[in-house]
Structure 1
Amino acid sequence: MTKKRALPVEKINTLIVNWLKTYAENAKVNGFVIGISGGVDSAVTSTLCAQTGLQVLCIEMPIHQAQSHVTRGREHIEQLKKRFPNVTSVEADLTSVFESFKKIVPGNHSDISKVNLSLANTRARLRMTTLYYFAGIHCLLVAGTGNKVEDFGVGFYTKYGDGGVDLSPIADLMKSEVYLLGNYLKIPDSILKAPPTDGLFGDERTDEDQLGASYNELEWAMAEDHAGKSIENFTGRDKIVFEIYKRLNTNNQHKMTAIPVCFIPKD
C-alpha cells in the first residue's frame, strides 16, 4: 500500500470538483460525458462531475456485457439521477456494431489469443468513438476514468480506447484512494464490493486475473519502484509482484509517453 495522502478525502473531493468546473468553463463547454461500466472508477468520476452542477451525460455501452456489470451500472445511474438533477443518461448498445466489425476483419489468425485481445481492445475503441459522438452533439468533454496505478503504473487500459479522453479527474489517485472517495460519495455497495474488471471479454474475469496481482500489491510495487528499489531487494511474493509491475510498466511505456515524432532538420 502506498503512503496515506495527507489531504482529507473531503478536500480531495472539493479540489477535483472545482478543477473540473474551472476546466469546463474555460473550455466553454456544457459539461461532461462519461461511460458507465458498473465499476468504481466510472462511478466515482461521474459523481465528481455531477457535483459541478454542469450537464453530465452517462452512457451505457454494452457489448455482450455480463449481466452483473449492466445491473451495477444501472443502479449507479439511477442513484445519481435521483441525487443530481443535472444528470441524464442514454444507452447505446454496441453489440451489433461489434459483430459487424468481426465479420469484416479476418479472424483466422494462427494465434487466437492475439485475436481475442485485439477484439477486446476494439470494444474499448468503439466505446470511445461513441462517447465522442455524444460529446460532439452536446458540446461536452469526455471525462476519463483511469486511476494512477492503471494509467501511470502498469498501463492497464486500451490506447485510444478508454485512454482516449479529454481530461482525467482521478488519474492522480491510487485505486485504494478511489475506493475511499467512493465510500465518501456513497457509491452503491454493489460496486464498492465487486472485484474490479475491465469487462472487455464479456465474462467475469477480474483485473487481478489479467494482471497477476491485486491493485494493493501493484500500488506497493509502484511506490517501491519510485523509491529506487530493484528486483534484488525482494524475495517470495514481493519479488513476483515487483517483477509483474516492472514488466507491465516497461511493456506499456508506449501508452504512457508522448507519441514519438520524427523531426526534420530545418536545414
Structure 2
Amino acid sequence: MAKVEVKDLLDGGVHFGHLTRKWDPNMAPYIYMERNGIHIINLYKTAAKLDEASQALAKIAASGRKILFVATKKQAKDIVAEKAGDVNMPYITERWPGGMLTNFVTIRKAVKKMASIDRMKKDGTFNTLSKKERLQVDRLRAKLEKNLGSISDMTRLPGALFVVDIKREHIAIKEAQKLNIPIFAMVDTNSDPRQVDYVIPANDDASKSIDKILSHVSNAIAGGLADRKAEKEAKAEGKEAPKAKKSKETKAAAPVASQEEE
C-alpha cells in the first residue's frame, strides 16, 4: 500500500481548518498554526493518521467485513458514492435512517421489501394490481431505493464506519458507539476527535480534500479485498491437491481419505 505524500494533501487543501473561534480544543494536538483567523492542520500528523487508518481498513476488508461509508453533506455525497461503489462497500449519502445500526433488523426488512417488489414485477404479480396500487408500490420502491438502495448487499452489521463530518453525522456516531463498531472519520478543527477510534485530521468541507482522503482509503480497501481474493484462490488450489492424490490411492485407503476431508 502506497504511503500518502504530504505534498498531495497540501495540493488538496486538506490543511485548511475552521475559523479559530469555532475550534474544538481537543483538536489542539493536530493543529499546526493559525493564519488569518483560520486554523491550519498539521499535515504530517494527517499523513501518519491516514496511513494508520488505511492499514486498519485494509485488514477489515481482508477479513470479509463490510465498511459503511456515511456522508450526507452536499460536497461529499457524490465522491463517497463513487469511491465506496468502486470497492463494493455500502454507503449512506441521503438522510441517515434512525436506527440504521441499533435497529438493523427493521432496516433489513425494508431492504427485503424492495426485493419483494422487484420479484412482483418479474413474476407478473405487479400487473394484476390496480393503477392506483401500482403507483403506490412504485413510489415506495423509489423511496426505499433512494434511502437504502446503496446498502442492499449489507446483510449484517458493518465491521466499521467511515464518516465525513462527525458533527453532521452525530446520530450515526452514537449508534456505532453503542454497538462498539470502530469509527474512522475525517475530523475537522471544529469537532471532538475523542468520539472517533481512528482520527484523520482533515478539511471535511472542500470536495477536493474529501476526494484526496477517500481516494487513499478506497485504494487501501481495494488492496485488502485483493489479499482476501488471493487467499481464497490459494485455499481452493490447496483443496484440489488432496483430490488428485486420492485417485492414485487404493480403494481400501479411500474411506480413510474421505474421513480426513470431512
Normalising by the smaller structure, the TM-score range is: under 0.3
Q: TM-score, normalised by structure 2?
A: 0.24
The structure whose residues are more often helix, as a share, is 2
TM-score, with length taken from structure 1: 0.24
